[in-house]
Structure 1
Amino acid sequence: MPPTTDPADQALDRFLQAIPKMELHCHLFGTVRRDTFAELNRRAGAPLTDEEVAGFYTRGEKPVGVLRVLRSLDAQLVRTPADLYRLTIEYLEDAAAHHVRYAEFFWNPTGTVQVSGIPYAAAQDAIVQAIRDAERPLGIVGRLIAAVDREASPQAATEMVEWVTAHRCDEVIGIGIDYRENERPPELFAQAYQNARRAGLKTTAHAGEFGMPWTNVRTALELLQVDRIDHGYTVVDDPEFARYCAGRGVLFTVVPTNSYYLRTLPPERWALDHPIRRMPGLGLRIHPNTDDPTLHHVTPTGAWRMMVRDFGFGLDDLRGFMHNGLDGAWIDDTQRRRWRTEWSAEFDALRAASFSSASIPT
């Protein structure tokens, strides 16, 4: 979208850039800068053509092929712990530039170990060192979620949880599950999740994405016993179950740039018909995130801008979404209370300084 010249839109963009944010749904390999990707490709002897590299970062009306870049990184480009350190530092730099103060981000250890050939301990150490090195100079707290590769076997998932529990550290706080949900329902990975919970790890799961049925969300909550849901859009297809989720206070980490709806709904209808628009009206708690920011051509500021521009939410809604994120984040209650007080005051001060009472919907 070209830069706006409308004063109200410019004020909104400045406000959204400045408000304190957190990211709870972002994949490390989906944050790779284009020049970094190209450099890794050159170092590997250019297994991908320049056109293929450019294609990974081209997002038209009907985005396709987004997942290929994630697999290419494991299969051909990421080869040392230093590569993982670089990707992590660059992600945290980019997020902090948008006033992201806290980020829980996903990493797929199965791909790193089995495909990239980097031992788990060395890979985790590199990512954690980047988190520690970034915190003070950038003002961002990073936490790592080890993601089950749902396209691999259930045995690979339980093995991954064993790696995490054998190398526990404060920065690795839980497990998730990602990649294509099609034909890979949550119940396949029940043992891995049970083992993770027993080890004291937090849990989340991608469910109800790719148009997969709302029953996958129910399975993730009731069988896997996850703490929150990533995506979860098809929950709107069963209002009774949606009310159940609302009553439980389940947090849904939603993604405005979700490829499935951009790809399957007409351009003039996708924002009107996207489930994100309906979820708060059903009492569901949502929080906007970038998912794969460089691949989706979105920033944290841009994701929040889409909640206003595309889905019609107002500033009161955004304040509520911020609180939802704080409530659903895997932080201790003392930190939660402190940030809620500080961030709310900051949000309100920025709002008062940025808008007249009539310049933006409340």
Structure 2
Amino acid sequence: MQAPQAPSEHPLSLEAMLHAMPKAELHCHLFGTVRQATFEALNRRAGMPLTSEEVQAFYTRGDKPVGVLRVLRALDAWLIRTPDDLYRLTYEYLADAAAHQVRYSEFFWNPTGTAAESGIPYSAAQAAIARAIVDAQADHGIVGRLVAAIDREATPEAARQMVEWVTAHRSEHTVGIGIDYRETDRPPELFAQAYADARRAGLKTTAHAGEFGMPWTNVRTALDVLKVDRIDHGYTVVDEPAFARECADRGVIFTVVPTNSYYLRTLPPQRWALDHPIRRMPGLGLRVHPNTDDPTLHHVTPTLAWLMMVRDFGFGLDDLRAFLGHGLDGAWIDDGQRRAWRAQWLAEFDALRRRLSPNVPLQGN
């Protein structure tokens, strides 16, 4: 009789394989990672400015999700009051990500709101986040890096001030800047000077563009005027195939989000996955990499984000392997680290792929 397989050789389901594979996260917002229990504790400490029902509503994602931006604003407005609060949020996020084999994370935080609403100066806030990054790496093996994000709902002057803060308090743990919040009526060119300041200071740059159904020209402006190193979202690039081909030729990395709220709200349930631009982007030669964006608010994990690329958008295992490489190419790490991780992570991916159950239909893809 054949000897039983060793536990390490047991066949894997697709979800188990995707859970075990090494991952990078390049598009995740710190305030969108907050555990509900932590949110509730901060709310109690603040004297319950939000009712229990309101807190629960923040964490209820229906078929047509709404209210994510309200959560992010509520944290600065009412709940975050000390650097230790930022330490807690950062450490918990990195621990949760590491549990899904995220080995490297570049995550966003908006200093403007924290300074204005929470009253925590940039230097103290960054120091607390950096301390959590160090502790999480020691405890969980995850490498975390901070991306200071411009609040595009604030003024261009506030954006330049934020870049000044980052430049004046340079940290090895803060690798660049981004821009987020509501894209509508806030085109990228409003913030061209802040991005020029950041580039002169040697900071890496990225920008949310083409997220809220805004025209593909926002992506072009982010690339050609802001001169960003990569694009967050970028979905409307599919509306202009000639420009999409240009982005493909330039090797632009797009950090996409399978749970993006805009398309879940605006596309009917029976068409959502079929009509989502993510499905079309790789076919246009675009280099995409899946991310969680706001994991606790989107009810998604790093594992689920990758699973959705297969389950909802129809990509195969060869595609996923390519997406993994795109993430490493887009990461703000030195080339030596990139080569080492590429060799290691792709070898792990291939080994896990060989262990897939024969019942997984994508095994040969």
Q: TM-score range with shorter-chain normalisation?
A: over 0.9
AA paired with 1:262? Answer: L
**Match status 1:38 vs 2:34:** no
Deviations 1:221-270 (A, max 9, x none): 00000000000000000000000000000000000000000000000001
**Match status 1:306 vs 2:302:** no
Whole-angstrom distance in 2 between the partners of 1:308 and 1:359: 11
Q: Partner of 2:281 in structure 1?
A: 279
The alpha carbon displacement at 1:353 in A equals: 1.3
1:87 to 65, 89, 103: 89
- Contact 2:36/2:59 (<8 A) preserved: yes
In the alignment, structure 2 segments of 5+ residues that lack a partner are 1-10
Whole-angstrom distance in 1 between the partners of 2:304 and 2:359: 23
Q: Partner of 2:5 in structure 1?
A: none
CA RMSD of aligned residues (A): 1.1
State the SS of the aligned residue for 2:92. helix
1:296 to 295, 298, 311: 298
State the SS of the aligned residue for 1:267. coil
The alpha carbon displacement at 1:78 in A equals: 0.2
State the SS of the aligned residue for 2:183. coil
- Contact 2:12/2:357 (<8 A) preserved: no
Aligned residues: 354
TM-score by length of 1: 0.97
Q: Partner of 2:160 in structure 1?
A: 158
AA paired with 1:207? Answer: A
Whole-angstrom distance in 2 between the partners of 1:49 and 1:357: 47
Q: Partner of 1:343 in structure 2?
A: 345
Deviations 1:131-156 (A, max 9, x none): 01111220100000000000000000
Q: Partner of 2:222 in structure 1?
A: 220
Deviations 1:260-311 (A, max 9, x none): 0000000000100000000000000000000000000000000001000000
The alpha carbon displacement at 1:169 in A equals: 1.1
Whole-angstrom distance in 2 between the partners of 1:89 and 1:180: 27
Whole-angstrom distance in 2 between the partners of 1:130 and 1:64: 30
1:264 to 263, 266, 270: 266
- Percent identity between matched residues is 76
State the SS of the aligned residue for 2:208. strand
Whole-angstrom distance in 1 between the partners of 2:65 and 2:121: 34
4+ runs deviating over 4 angstroms: none
1:1-362 matches, within 5 Å, as: 11-356=13-358, 359-360=361-362, 362=365
The alpha carbon displacement at 1:360 in A equals: 2.0
The alpha carbon displacement at 1:358 in A equals: 6.2
Whole-angstrom distance in 2 between the partners of 1:109 and 1:277: 34
In the alignment, structure 1 segments of 5+ residues that lack a partner are 1-8
Cα 1:314/1:87, change in 2 over 3 Å: same
- Contact 2:13/2:360 (<8 A) preserved: no
The alpha carbon displacement at 1:10 in A equals: 7.0
Whole-angstrom distance in 2 between the partners of 1:19 and 1:297: 20
Whole-angstrom distance in 2 between the partners of 1:336 and 1:214: 30
Whole-angstrom distance in 1 between the partners of 2:360 and 2:307: 18
Deviations 1:30-61 (A, max 9, x none): 00000000000010000001110000000010
Whole-angstrom distance in 2 between the partners of 1:177 and 1:151: 10
